Structures are given as C-alpha cells and as structure tokens.
Amino acid sequence: MDVAKRIEELIAILNEASYKYYVLDNPTITDQEYDKYLRELINLEEKYPEYKRADSPSQRVGGEAIDKFNKVVHKTPMLSLSNVFNEQEIRDFDERIKKEGFTPDYVCEYKIDGLSISLIYENGLLVQGITRGDGITGEDVTNNIKTIKSVPLKLTEPIDVEVRGEVFMHKKTLAKLNEQRQKEGLPILANVRNAAAGSLRQLDSKIAAQRELDTFIYYLMEPEKFNIKTHSEALEYLKKLGFKVNPESRKVGSVSHVLSYIAEALKARDKLSYDIDGVVMKHNVFAEQQEIGYTAKYPKWATAYKFPAQEVLTRLKDIIFTVGRTGRITPNAVLEPVILMGSTIARATLHNADFITSKGLKIGDIVSIKKAGDVIPAVTGAVYERRTGAEKDFVMITTCPMCDTPLQKKEGQVDYFCPNESCPARNINSLIHFVSRDAMNIEGLGEEIVEELYNLGFVKRIPDFYDLKTKKEQLLEFDGYGEQSINKILDNIEASKQNGLERVLFAIGIPGIGSKTAKVLAHRFGHIDNLMQADQETLEAIPDIGNILATNIYNYFQNNQAFIAELKNIGINMAEAASERKQNDLITGKKFVITGTINDYTRNEIKDILENYDGIVSESVSKNTDVVIVGENPGSKYDKAVQLKVEIWNEEKLKEIFNILV
C-alpha cells in the first residue's frame, strides 16, 4: 500500500466531511464512517509519523497539554468597535460618514457573543491561532483552535492570509456542559462567552476539543492582495476559502435598511442556536474605509449597535436569609446595585441552599444577572476567571435568623423551614400576605408599615387589623402617620370586609392554596360554612385539587375553627361576593376546547376569562363540547370539531366577544 497516498486520501475525505458538516451544516457521511476513517488515519500516523501532515484532522481531538500559552504580538492590532445604543446614535454615525463626503453603503452582521481570534494561514495551511488579548498582544492558542471543527486546517487555495472572526459556544452546548458539571459537583459556567473563553484557554487541548466550539469569520486582512474591493466580496471570498461565515450577513445599503435589519435581528435572536448581543454595521468599500480612518481603538467606518443588555455582571456582596410566612427559609443575594433593562437591581432570590451549591457561588464572586421571563432578576452563575481568592464559601444557616429555632428539612425536600409557629418573621409575612394585592388588597398597608405595626405591637394577628380603628389616637402619636393617611388606611381596612370568600380563602394562608384554588373553592362552595363541612373525599373530587391539597384544606379548617369564627364576628364577608360571579350568555355554563396558537392571548388568559364567566374549559372535543376556539396551526381537535359540527370561534371572533365583556 502506498501509505503517503492513503494518508492523503483520508485527510481529504475527513476534511471534506468536516467542512460539509460543520461549515455548510450539510453532512454527507455518518459519524460512524467519520470515526472509522479517523481511526485508520491515526493508526497510520502512529506507525509512520514521517507522513503526518499539517492539515491532518487527527489534530482535532487535541494533543499534549502545554504549561503556558506563548504571547504573540499581532501583526496588525486587533481593534474593537465603538458602540451605539439607539436609533439617534445610529443616525449620528451615518451622518458623520456622509459629512466626510461618502455615500454610506452598509453591510450588517450579527454581533456574535464570543471572543475574537486571528487565524494565520501560510500556503493555505493553518499555522497559528491567536486570541485578541489586549488588542496588541494575544496568546497563541493554535492547539485549541485546531480542535474547532469549523476552522479549516487547509484552505481551498494555497495562499498566505490572516483572517479574523469570533469563537463562540452554542447555547445548547453550554446547557449540556453545565448539566455535566453539575453532576460532577463543579460550579456551572455563567454564560456562553465565559464558557467559550474558558474553553479556548485550556492548556489541555483534549479538553478544548470536547467543548464543541464554533466560529464565524468576518474579517479578511490585506484584501488588496486578492484584488478584493468590498467587505461583501471579502465575505464571499472567505466562504470560498472554506471558512464559516454567518449566513445572516447582508449588504443592506442605507441607514434605514440598517434599522430594519436590527428589528429583524431582535426578532430572530431568541430562535438562534448561538447568542448575539447586537448588530455590527460596516461601510462596505475598502478604499473608503481607509479614508474614513480609525481612532486608536476603533475603526470609524463601523460601529456596533448593542441590544439592551439582558444580562449584566455585578458583585455578590453577601447572602442573607429571609423567613417566609410558612417558615420557609430563602437565601437572597445582596448585590452591588446594577441597572438591567431599566431597573436597578440590588437583590435577587437564590431559591435554596442546593441552588447556591449547584452554581458554586461564593460570597464576593462576580455573578451574572439575567431577568427571568424579563421581570424577576435571577443569578445565573459566577465568573470564575475573576476570582481573587478572597471569596468566602457559602455556609447554610442551621437556626432561624429571626427566632433562633433550629431549622428543619423534610425528607426529600430542598427547603429548610423554621418550625416555630410564633416566629416573628413568619407572623409578619403572614400579615403582609393577608393585606397584599391578590389577597385582601388593602391599599396603604405596604410591607414596611405592616412590619412596623407588628413591631410596635399594634397588629400581632390578622384580627388586629380590624381593631386598629379603636387605636387611632395612639397611632397618631407615632411619627410619619398623618391623620389623613391613617383615616384612608382605616377606611380601606373596613372596606376589605366586603371582599368576599375568594380573597379571604387566599389571604388566610391555607398551605398550598394559591389564588387560583381559592377561586375554585369559592365558586364550588359559595360560603365558608359549606367548605368547612366538606370532607376530604368531596374536596378531592374537585378538579385540580389533589390528595395533598384536600388534606391541607381539611386539616386547616379542623384546626382553625375559632379563628374563622373570629373573622366572621368581625364582619368579614364569608360568602362569594356577587362581583366575583360574572355571567355572559355566550360563555356561562358552556364547554370550551382551545386548539392552535392565539396571538393576542395566552392559553391561560383565555382559560381565566372563560372560567371567570363560569365557562368550562376541557382538553378534548366531544359531542358535549359547545365551542372550539381555533388559533393558528390547530391540531386534530379542529378536524374533530368540524366533523362533529361544533361551533367554532377564530381569534377575531374571540376578541370580539372578549372585548364586550367586563
């Protein structure tokens, strides 16, 4: 056998396969075939090391670990980009180019959230991969770069060229990696950029190889050498050479098209497999780029529009514990205040001790904060590269921070509880819950006032709220309460007596009963007396109420008869309020099924509205179904509805009906 020839053949097959799979996303051979050829190649190379070639894909699996990265000075500094944050700043940028006497002609690209690298090829072969570093000097990470499957080891032309682009990690890869790390008890990685940076700086390239990094190349150095005149041509040429170029890069022309590109990118963002943090706009003509010029840090012919941050980094200053109304202990992050999506964040829940351990958080860490569901701030992880050694380990407390009672943890549960029924923290939070918006909705009684009323001895138990009117004179003696505001609060307290059963059931804090279940119970029983007489079996038979809830409800009323009697005596309305029961001929008493996507309402919103009017929502269509609500891409339920001749409401009809309600 001609060994050299076979090696050449195998390298050609494998590199072609990688290119098709990782660059074009269009695999032509199976993983098994790839592995078979690769094994054959590695065996041959081991036997005949003299035939090992620079572009051999055997290097993709990683090689010997090194003890440090060599520093390399970039031939041309790796510049950064200026940032713009809104339409006005984009237009200002555009105006500056016009003022210089040029007609802007932009190429727009995604701003990939990764780290930039420079790749140097000689005679078409990859010889060096360098990180950006400080822009002047970077680190030689060639061994790790070679493990990235989308980086061609050999170009389609035997040229000397330097290109630049972004190394990044796909969102799914990070999720998989973190899952694995969690299993191994390792701290999780905060975001794709840190994960990619950490992976590229692995001294052991075998580890880097497992990290499945990817690249997009967006910059061709010295384009004049190849007679290339514009950035868009350069991107085409990069593709032709075998590089992975982002498919969304587009020559858009004028600034108004830049704005629509940005709007589209924002829409596409969440569906992408990788993270982007903005859009880069670049003036297309190279000769003009040189005339427009550079500052020390940035090119003046390009800028990056940054999306509003969805994630920020800040310091975890401390972890403090709060005691909920059920006695549950919650650790909370005390953060160096930061602004995220328009609001200042200084606190975030850390859920429970297991959450903190699984993320490997230490006090003093730089942590990443995201808004979960765009509202509640969540700590997603620590940035380990920024540890100084001064961070402190997290230690879970063993006694209640409020009353010092030893904490308890139930078998198989993650939460710790303060078991002391008279723990002040538990009591204060029960009182706060009672008056809160979704409960008795007593305006003017904020958390701080309730706490103060508790500490001053005015309100120790729920019934005390309704006795406050007899203590007006004493209340007036305390600073900060004007007569007018006290009168208002007292009026609101008095008015809350008429709220009705639904709110009362939620407000008194029966374990496990949220506002939804409270509504179901109020509808079903109409008056608290009926509910208190219900046995467990009756309760369990109600849809959405399982065995545990039924037991909770039953036990609660067994143990709290005197308390309920007290509330009744105060004059709190224990019947379902008339306002809670709404009627509409099109909905009340009818059976509904929802299928497909409705654009303007979520399924739960539709369900809530229908149930508010005593409509019944079920999952499957039968001859008993009155109406099927049909959205976009409906399922088989639609066909069944047609077949059974059930009335159908489309989104338009639904909106028409909902609009006349209330």
Looking at the annotation, which residues are catalytic?
A: 111
Give the per-residue contact string, 325-364, with ligand IVH (x = CB under 6 A; - = no).
----------------------------------------
Q: Which stretch binds ligand IVH (CB under 6 A): 110-118, 204-212, 320-328, 640-648?
A: 110-118
Q: Which stretch binds ligand IVH (CB under 6 A): 1-9, 47-55, 78-86, 353-361?
A: 78-86
Among 152, 299, 500, 634, binds ligand IVH (CB under 6 A): 299
Q: Which stretch binds ligand IVH (CB under 6 A): 74-82, 235-243, 335-343, 651-659?
A: 74-82
Q: Which C-beta is closer to ligand IVH: that of 114 or that of 634? A: 114
Residue 147 contacts residue 61 (beta carbons within 8 Å)? yes
Residue 76 interacting with ligand IVH (CB under 6 A): no
The CA-to-CA distance between both ends of the chain, in Å, stands at 85
Please state, in angstroms and rounded to a whole number, the distance separating the CA atoms of residues 117 and 122: 17
Among 7, 11, 38, 81, binds ligand IVH (CB under 6 A): 81
Residues 273-292 that bind ligand IVH (CB under 6 A): 280
Q: Which C-beta is closer to ligand IVH: that of 74 or that of 433? A: 74
Cα–Cα distances in Å, from 215 out to 152, 232, 279, 482, 583? Answer: 10, 18, 17, 65, 59
- The CB-of-64 to ligand IVH minimum distance in angstroms stands at 29
Tokens of 288: 């003009």
Question: How many CA atoms lie within 13 Å of 266's alpha carbon, on the beta-carbon side?
Answer: 12
Q: Which C-beta is closer to ligand IVH: that of 282 or that of 359? A: 282
Q: Which stretch binds ligand IVH (CB under 6 A): 23-31, 111-119, 520-528, 621-629?
A: 111-119
Cα–Cα distances in Å, from 310 out to 270, 340, 465? Answer: 12, 7, 42
Burial 36-47 (b: 16+ CB within 10 A, else e): ebbebbbebbee
Residue sitting closest to ligand IVH (CB): 116
Q: Which stretch binds ligand IVH (CB under 6 A): 263-271, 298-306, 501-509, 574-582?
A: 298-306
Tokens of 32: 């098994």
Provide DSSP, 91-116. HHHHHHHHHTT----EEEEEEESSEE
Burial 426-438 (b: 16+ CB within 10 A, else e): bbbbbbbbbbbee
- β-sheet bridge partners, residue 371: 377
Tokens of 416: 């710790």
Residues 24-63 that bind ligand IVH (CB under 6 A): none
Q: Which C-beta is closer to ligand IVH: that of 116 or that of 142? A: 116
How many other CB atoms sit within 10 Å of the CB of residue 487? 13
- The CB-of-478 to ligand IVH minimum distance in angstroms stands at 55
Among 28, 30, 43, 80, binds ligand IVH (CB under 6 A): 80
Give the per-residue contact string, 138-167, with ligand IVH (x = CB under 6 A; - = no).
----------------------------x-
Among 302, 353, 425, 549, binds ligand IVH (CB under 6 A): 302
Please state, in angstroms and rounded to a whole number, the distance separating the CA atoms of residues 178 and 192: 11
Kindly determine how many residues on this chain lie close enough to bind ligand IVH according to the rule CB under 6 A.
14
Among 19, 58, 93, 111, binds ligand IVH (CB under 6 A): 111
Closest alpha carbon to 458 in 441, 443, 471: 471
Closest alpha carbon to 382 in 141, 167, 178, 200: 178
Residue 116 interacting with ligand IVH (CB under 6 A): yes
- The CB-of-82 to ligand IVH minimum distance in angstroms stands at 8
DSSP E strands in 233-328: the ranges are 250-253, 276-283, 302-306, 311-323
Please state, in angstroms and rounded to a whole number, the distance separating the CA atoms of residues 643 and 623: 10
Tokens of 181: 């790390």
Give the per-residue contact string, 219-258, with ligand IVH (x = CB under 6 A; - = no).
x---------------------------------------
Residue 427 interacting with ligand IVH (CB under 6 A): no
| Interacting residues with ligand IVH (CB under 6 A) | 79-81, 109, 111-112, 116, 166, 218-219, 280, 299, 302, 304
